[in-house]
Amino acid sequence: MRSTPTILHLDMDAFYASAEQAAKPSLRGKAVVVGGLGPRGVVATASYEARRFGVHSAMPTAQARRLAPHAAYLTPRFTLYRDISNQVMGLLRALSPLVEPLSLDEAFVDLEAGGAAWDSASALETARRLRADIRRVTGLSGSVGLAVSKMLAKIGSERAKPDGLLLIEPGTERDLLAPLPVRVLPGVGPATGDHLRRAGITTVEEIAEAGQDELVRLLGKAHGAGLYAMALALDERPVVSEREGKSVSVEDTYDLDIHDRVRVRGEVARLAERCTGRLREAGRSGRTVVLKVRRYDFSTLTRSETLRGPTDDPAVVRESAARLLEGVDTTGGVRLLGVGVSGLADYTQEDLFAQAAGERAAAGKTGREPEAPEGTEAEAVDPVAPAAPEERRWPAGHDVVHAVHGHGWIQGSGVGRVTVRFETPTSAPGRVRTFRTEDPELSLTAPLPLVVESGHGEG
């Protein structure tokens, strides 16, 4: 293991909620919750103001509304979040070729590999510059941990939150880890944490004192030995560039076993959406969909399905994962669910559509119709029947533009009305107006940048 603290972990602070506060002057300093707003919606991110009421990520939105009824509840705007993430990841890649994104708002960086740091002092200076650059470019804050390993760097960024920087000096790691709860270590979810607690082990120091043999007896050879090493502050995992990854996956461990089959299906669909989101962030696609299910008795089942061509389409991955789930018995309850995509490529199913279009053009000369790519269906369109008009949807928090009043965002809608607050990231808190949902002068639009660089303002 290296002896210099040149592994950096960046975690953007309450990312989705902070982006919404930066975009909406009227919400700054107020409780904001971003997530699904339907009956089965789940909180994606809560602002620090909302967290004071007990709201946190992965909580049902209905529960969050009971805890913080006066908070602003918004649906995610992934176009904006991806744009900001691309800006942040660009700053990280300017520091090193070894950047390992974990999500839109989180990444590891090996500063030594890029010559950006070689000791504690240079690592601190680089981290300070990075945080200042992130704020200048995006208007948002990020917390940074610096250490000799990925595990310690991530712990450092967690302890630095919000908007902080922590360097863990070599030689101090064991003292730092000792009093922390076991859940701080990678791979310790609620189930493993409960298993250790029943054995009288609640802190990292107690893991180290228990010894490797006892951990292996409790958790199995691989998990037990790995956990013991991490309790001793030993973590040899390298920072791996996302281009070197062979798969992309997401998984959730649940505090209570899920018995409701409908909820299991909903969780799998949500994980499929997150997984394809990460695929798209990395500019990748994949052809094998993998479902992971850990049941009530700790038995873990993995099922996979290989598609004809690579895809990053959420609907395709979601439907494939749903098919895989149908072959898994979840009667006794589910502790963990995961969805992944492997067989990564740099092109997507869309290329197959283009290929099919080219084949159709060639087929026109031969009179033969080519086969459509697998996973697609030819639409039967009646040329006489008029298309049914689509109902206009007004998602809370999304951007709109009005022919007279300009740019704003949707505060809410219902009963044929939509309420809009007209303001921009650089304006004062704006005025609220209400319109008919079918108002022809009002339409959805793209998000505005959070920061307008000097010399590039509106003309």
| 169 is annotated as an active-site residue | no
Residue in 49, 106, 112, 242 annotated catalytic: 106
Could you tell me the two tokens for 359?
């084949």
Any idea which residue has 């389409």 for tokens?
A: 313
What are the tokens at 444? 């959805």
Q: Which of 213, 214, 149, 225 is nearest to 187 (CA)?
A: 225
- Cα 190 to Cα 182: distance, rounded to the nearest angstrom: 10
Question: If 0-12 CB within 10 Å is exposed, 13-18 middle and 19+ buried, where does residue 331 land?
Answer: exposed
- Contacts from 236-239 at CB under 8 Å and sequence distance 24+? 236/1, 236/149, 237/149, 237/150, 237/151, 238/98, 238/110, 239/7, 239/98, 239/99, 239/100, 239/108, 239/109, 239/110, 239/113, 239/150
Report the alpha-carbon distance of residue 133 to residue 146 in Å, rounded. 17
Q: And the tokens for 76?
A: 């995610």
Nearest CA among 263, 342, 324, 252 for reference residue 294: 252
**Strands, DSSP E only, in 269-360?**
285-295, 300-311, 334-345
Which are the catalytic amino acids? 106
